[in-house]
Amino acid sequence: MAKITFNNDPVTLIGQEIKVGDQAPDFKVLANDLSEVTLKDSEGKIRLFSVIPSIDTGVCDTQTRKFNEMAAKFGEDVMVYTVSMDLPFAQTRWCGAAGIDKIQTVSDHKDASFGKNYGVLIQELRLLARAIFVVNQEGKVTYVEYVPEVTTHPDYDAALEAVKALTK
């Protein structure tokens, strides 16, 4: 399993580490309107999952804004999700204030299904570790980044290249 720290303190991740080539695990999260969202809902599309601990923190704010900008360039064949443990109401408030409209924010607070199935649930904090997953149209994982220190940024360029490689 990836070695992850939060403010330089080691944390325990629950679930199996996802690797490139794996079939993407299904999950059940909540959309901002409290409807259920699963992997199957975006079947046949390229999916980028931007996983963050909390939308109301600096790095998470920047990460979500950057992926919203990227999503505007991807087109309809690519779905970009920001996954966090934040309540759907907080996600809705934040997106409205930030003008975020090209990605879908989803909440894993109810069951921690995404966190457990993608190996990003931090046992000690019941937050999600920062990570990026790209899943192709057939449901295979083509890119994975578990960010070693949760309070730092992911590799935005590598994630962008992973999506571009699937759109050619």
Asked whether the beta carbons of 22 and 141 are under 8 A apart, the reply is yes
3-state secondary structure of 70: helix
Sequence-distant (6+) residues with CB within 8 A of 126 are 85, 112
> Which residue type occupies 8?
N
Task: Return the amino acid letter for 164.
Answer: K
Q: How far apart are CA 35 and CA 29, in angstroms?
A: 8
- Strands 127-128 and 121-122, by their bridges, are antiparallel
Q: Write down the catalytic residue from 60, 121, 131, 144.
A: 60
Spatial neighbors of 151 by CB under 8 A, at least 6 apart, are 6, 7, 59
Instruction: Tokens 């991740």: give the residue.
Output: 13
Verify whether residue 95 is a known catalytic residue. Answer: no
164 to 32, 52, 150: CA distances (angstroms): 28, 22, 25
Catalytic residue annotation: 60
